[in-house]
């Protein structure tokens, strides 16, 4: 059985000179994915990635793993290192960080079963929510509106659960 994760990556610190969908950035990402797949195949838990979509300010990677991963974004460290070592993104690295990752889909096994939310760690959920809420840039108004609606819904859940009170809003 294998596990599949869809992950969005974007620069940790915005840089208007970088457009992922243009060369040399696009080709560097594609070459790094190939190199990652070559070296990761020999790991104790073999993983592979393919780049599903490349947008101007982000790109989507599908990561597959033989074993379930508690933090899929961490499995992309080797990919990030390959990209950094290329030198193409050197002006984008700040505080030793190049990318920020966002898991877009729930953990899903390559079967017809529904994923079990219980297998997602609380820490992974909180990290994903903070990353999601603090990311102020979106590529289009539809994505921005979807994010704002999700954050509003999370606030409503927090109010109903007693985590927030009307005096803190």
Question: pLDDT, tens digit, for every residue of 66-101?
Answer: 888 888 888 888 899 999 999 898 888 888 888 888
pTM to 2 decimal places = 0.60
Q: Quick one: average pLDDT of 138-149?
A: 70
Predicted local distance difference test score (pLDDT) of residue 68: 85
Backbone angles phi, psi at 99, to 5 degrees: -115, 155
Q: Where are the beta strands (DSSP E) in the chain?
A: 3-11, 47-54, 59-65, 99-103, 108-109
Question: pLDDT, tens digit, for every residue of 51-71?
Answer: 988 998 889 999 998 888 888
The yes-or-no verdict on residue 33 having pLDDT over 90 is: yes
Q: Quick one: average pLDDT of 4-23?
A: 86
């Amino acid at each position: 059985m294998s596990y599949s994760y869809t992950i969005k990556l974007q620069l940790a610190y915005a840089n208007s000179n970088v457009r992922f969908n243009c060369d040399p950035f696009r080709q560097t990402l594609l070459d790094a994915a190939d190199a990652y797949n070559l070296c990761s195949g020999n790991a104790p838990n073999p993983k592979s990635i393919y780049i599903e979509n490349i947008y101007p300010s982000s790109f989507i990677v599908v990561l597959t793993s033989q074993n379930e991963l508690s933090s899929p974004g961490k499995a992309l460290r080797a990919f990030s290192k390959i990209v950094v070592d290329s030198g193409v993104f050197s002006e984008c690295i700040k505080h030793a960080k190049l990318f920020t990752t966002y898991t877009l889909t729930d953990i899903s096994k390559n079967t017809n079963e529904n994923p079990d939310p219980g297998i997602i760690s609380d820490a992974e959920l909180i990290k994903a929510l903070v990353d999601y809420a603090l990311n102020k840039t979106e590529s289009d108004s539809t994505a921005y509106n979807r994010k704002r609606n999700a954050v509003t819904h999370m606030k409503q859940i927090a109010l109903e659960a007693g985590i927030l009170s009307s005096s803190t809003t």
